[in-house]
Amino acid sequence: MSRAAVIGGGISGIATAYYLQQYGLDVHLYESNSQLGGRIGSECIDGRWLDFGGKNIGRKYRRFREFVADLGEQDFEYFGFNTSQVIRGRVVRLNKEKARLYNLFRVLTLAGPVGILKLIPLIRAVHKDREQGFLNTPYFNAIADRFDHESLASFFPKSCAGHIIRPVTVRMNGAEPEECYPGNFGSNLALVLDSYEQLRCGMQGMLERFQAYVRSVTLFTGHHVQALECRNGKTVLHYTCGAESFQKEYSKVVVALPAVQAAELFRHSAPELSALLGQVQYYPVAVAIARYREEVFTDVQRAMVFDRSSPLSNAGAYGIRDLDIVRYTFSGKTARSMITRESDPDEVVSLGEKIVKPYFNIEKNSRTSFTYKYIWPGLCAYSPHHYRRLEKLDELIKPLKGLSLTGDYRRGASLEACFRAAAEAADLVKGGGLRGCSRIHKELCAGRDPDITV
Ligand SMILES: Cc1cc2nc3c(=O)[nH]c(=O)nc-3n(C[C@H](O)[C@H](O)[C@H](O)COP(=O)(O)OP(=O)(O)OC[C@H]3O[C@@H](n4cnc5c(N)ncnc54)[C@H](O)[C@@H]3O)c2cc1C
């Protein structure tokens, strides 16, 4: 049986191993931590596994759902879209579940007429063709060519950037609108246009099933890959396990790491590739999950988004029935200036509580337990003209036979986009062409310009 190595045991590595197994390959999956998951990691509080990172699964996550179904029957629970926003001290409710017209009116007012005119063609492009909701697709590459000299903060009018765009970028990219670019915005819009569920057994349950499911995947947890070297059509992995160092040669290798970590592996063997990977932007995010004696939220108000003056970007109920569990997310510029890897977890949670106190039942409630994680690399904000960087990356990697790169910077950071990128990386190393070309991509390949209007 032909053998492949996958580096990174987050969802990108798991997805790659899953596809390579389907191609009949024997897979060695290297993960530096003692367990799989990476940024879909969970922690156990009061006997229940709670997810820190990616947990909301869009109804339109086709590949991810196929994977979950293959692992065996797993229940989903509705997560919904229910949030409010504090704007100049006033709470503005946005709720997809009720009062849809009223909420639509709210969004239109916040975006303003120019904002709406700029948003409509972008939304239409993703709505018409879901493929455009990934990174590196023809419609948004053309947008990048025209507009990536400016950030989303200047592309959209101020109110739209502050109240409509910022909650999206801070949540999905850990970044302010001035740190994100129009050419990558389709990957955000695809998520905004979806509605969400979560796994009843959580990501931990899914990871356990994955480990029971795989037959030709060998897990090497606690194995940290330090460098990669390509020689004579083979890739040599230099890795450590405990205090010992080893090396092993493979003819097929997929690097499934955040770009900033992948850059480290090529620092000496392929400096140009390493520098390019290092240009992809990541921002940290801190997440605290706290449980309270009584319900903090109500059925109709389950989450709140805060503006850029606050280090807390959002706080929400963990699940539709978990109104006593709050997930606090700290991301964006103010969070970065106040919270570091060294911050005291208890102080960070207390800060979150102080911020949400005027809006939810915290004052007379008491916290019974909590868990906290500072996540670095946290969220990917890509780069300006990102697709050109990806093209250059492919050019540099092409001569390195049997080597492929995947991760959240390839097709987007959602779990679905990680699966999409993993499927492509697996296709490449097993020797096939790319799958899943969109209508617009096919039009471009056939020499026609796709319909692009902004
Ligand atoms: C707070 C947060 C909330 C999110 N919410 C959602 C959501 O609700 N829905 C959604 O779709 N997406 C969400 N995302 C995005 C999604 O979770 C991530 O994009 C995705 O999990 C990234 O997976 P990955 O495998 O590419 O990277 P990672 O999860 O970072 O995996 C990389 C793995 O490689 C390992 N590793 C690193 N270096 C080495 C090395 N040298 N050798 C061996 N192993 C190494 C790491 O330990 C890690 O396990 C969220 C992300 C965050 C951070």
Q: Is 39 in the pocket of ligand 1 (CB under 6 A)?
A: yes
Q: Which residue, chain included where needed, has tokens 């007429």?
A: 113
Pocket lining: 133 vs ligand 1, CB cutoff 6 Å: no
Average pLDDT, the chain: 91
Residue 47: per-residue pLDDT: 87
- Write the pLDDT tens digit of every residue in 381-430: 999 999 999 999 999 999 999 999 999 999 999 999 999 999 999 999 98
What domains sit in the chain, N to C, each tagged with a CATH number? 3-68+202-279+384-436 (3.50.50.60), 82-198+281-381 (3.90.660.10)
Q: Is the CB of 417 under 6 A from ligand 1?
A: no
197 CA → ligand 1 middle, Å: 19
**For 111-168, what is each residue's pLDDT tens digit?**
999 999 999 999 999 999 999 999 999 999 999 999 999 999 999 999 999 999 999 9
pLDDT at 441: 36
Q: Give the ligand 1 atom nearest the CA of 15.
A: 25
Return the ligand 1 atom nearest residue 56 CA.
Answer: 8
Whether the per-residue pLDDT at 439 is higher than 50: the answer is: no
Q: Per residue in 292-303, pLDDT tens?
A: 999 999 988 889
260 lines ligand 1 (CB under 6 A): no
The owner of tokens 């030709």 is 216
Burial (CB count within 10 angstroms: exposed 0-12, middle 13-18, buried 19+), residue 97: middle
The atom number, within ligand 1, closest to the CA of 37 reads 49
Q: Kindly state if the Cβ of 267 falls inside 6 Å of ligand 1.
A: no
Mean pLDDT of 260-283: 98
One-letter amino acid at 58 equals G
**189 CA to centre of ligand 1 in angstroms:** 20
State residue 100's pLDDT score.
67
> How many whole angstroms from 415 Cα to the centroid of ligand 1?
9
Q: Would the CB of 257 count as within 6 Å of ligand 1?
A: yes
Burial of 161 (0-12, 13-18, 19+ CB in 10 A): buried
Residue type, 325: I
Task: Select from 11, 19, 35, 39 the residue to mutate for testing ligand 1; criterion: most ligand atoms less than 8 Å from CB.
Answer: 39
Q: Is the CB of 273 under 6 A from ligand 1?
A: no
End-to-end CA, the chain: 51
pLDDT of 252 over the 80 cut: yes
Mean pLDDT over 22-41 rounds to 96
pTM: 0.94
Using pLDDT thresholds of 50, 70 and 90, give the confidence band for residue 81. low
The more confident residue out of 267 and 231 is 267
Side by side, which strands form the sheet with 325-330? 90-95, 82-87, 303-305, 314-317, 325-330, 281-292, 367-382
- Listed in sequence order, the residues at least 6 apart from 250 whose beta carbon sits closer than 8 Å to its beta carbon are 3, 4, 5, 28, 234, 235, 237, 402
**Mutate which of 415, 416, 424 for ligand 1 pocket (most atoms within 8 A of beta carbon):** 415
User: How does pLDDT run across 93-118, given as a tens digit for each residue?
Assistant: 766 556 667 777 878 888 999 999 99
The pLDDT of residue 102 is 72
Compute the distance from residue 228 Cα to the ligand 1 centre, in Å: 21
> Of all protein residues, whose CA lies closest to atom 50 belonging to ligand 1?
54
Q: What proportion of the chain, given as a percentage, has pLDDT over 70?
A: 93
Confidence at residue 109, expressed as pLDDT on a 0 to 100 scale: 86
Distance 47 CA to ligand 1 centre (A): 24
Please report the pLDDT score of residue 398 as a whole number: 94
206 lines ligand 1 (CB under 6 A): no
Query: Distance from the CA of 25 to the center of ligand 1, in angstroms?
Result: 24
Ligand 1 centroid to residue 93 C-alpha, Å: 31
Q: Is the CB of 378 under 6 A from ligand 1?
A: yes
Per DSSP bridges, beta strands 303-305 and 82-87 are parallel
Ligand 1 in contact with 7 (CB < 6 A)?
Answer: yes
